Structure 1
Amino acid sequence: MAYLLSRVRGKSPNEAHRILARLCTPSLRQNVAPNAERVTHVTQNVDGLSLEALSAVSGLSSSESIIEMHGNLFNVACTAHDCSYTSKNTDNPICPALGGTEKIVAEGNTEPIVKRAFLPHCPEKGCGQLLRPDVVWFGERPKHIEMIIELAKVADLCLVVGTSSLVQPASRLPAYVRANGGKVAVFNMEQTNHSDEADWVFLGGCEVELGRVLGL
């Protein structure tokens, strides 16, 4: 994770992030979707850039309109199943004992074993279990997936932006929208496995095509 943090740190939202943030802001989407009761941005990214763009565009630091289904690299969570502790942690590495591991991973070497005592622990009284990056690892269930599916089932429009549509269960979400009579628009650099199921496909850079199509 120290390697991923080193890759993400210092990155800024691009125009595609900002356009989607405007679409999530009621006062800024009036010309495009004046009758929209709700816009929800579901992202698979763990870099936090969608929330950063929303903050820059609307002044909001958090919003129910953005769901990070795979978590956020800059948050930590307790590993205990009966503990709900989470907090923001922008340190890189998240503890001194992991310092330098990002270089080791980047060079393709095996990560060193770090003693449990030197790893971060939950500060909640009576807990003390290990903390971990608050992201979804391979094989784990995405965050808020039940809510996301229910939202997809009642949505009248789904924008699929900058994804290969290979990762389940996210790749199934457009099908829920279509099953309810909704429309699907794909924005991507190239065709995806599910492009033939979309009502519209816009090929090219998302930061360009989103702006051209939505006018935001």
Structure 2
Amino acid sequence: MALRLLAALVAAFFLAGCASKAPVPGPSSREPATLRPYTIKGVTYVPLRSAKGYREEGIASWYGPGFHGKRTSNGEVYDQYQLTCAHKLLPMQTKVRVTNLENGRSMTLRVNDRGPFVAGRIIDLSQAGARELGVHARGTARVRVEVEGDAPGAGPGGELPGPFYVQVGAFALRGNAERLFARLQAAGYAGSRIQTREIDGALLHLVHAGTFPTSAVADEARFRLGERFTGAFIIAQ
């Protein structure tokens, strides 16, 4: 996992460096990317703005090896060993209690991805979640999904409080990080910062655009900055 993370950070370094003369996207009030309608296989889905009171029953499936280490819909790196899930409509970061109606097992998972897009299925569990709920061996099971609040610490509309940042670059040379940092500040991201971390034995200078008061605002910034910096993702303070 550490090697994958290092590879992603190094890739971000090269992507940021290759187009250093292009302008940095400025702040915008556009709607968060994960709340916008989207179309898959000819079907258009309209994500919910609040998860409060949501409840449904249907077929759960799970996903793992083919997606492990790739980006989820909210910009995280998918880790099949964490207790997460994918849902077509619920807001990102929503916590849901999933109960396997075939064996009575129940547990809480966090929504961080979109799916499943197979007819008749209502939720995709991580491999870890599928094992805990007894779904892994069979592949599918009938479940009940119930939201536990909007999201941890969420305010009106289900938004998480911040501050949040969007990581847009990782550099071996401090000078490169400082140049990108200056460009972010000039573009209106006054709360941007540089953090130095040792990752798998390599010292990297991470550039974070910010700050953003809620997860929804950060997700919008990630979408906008991702058009310029491939692989941009959200981090909490």
Specify the TM-score bucket, using the shorter chain as the normaliser: under 0.3
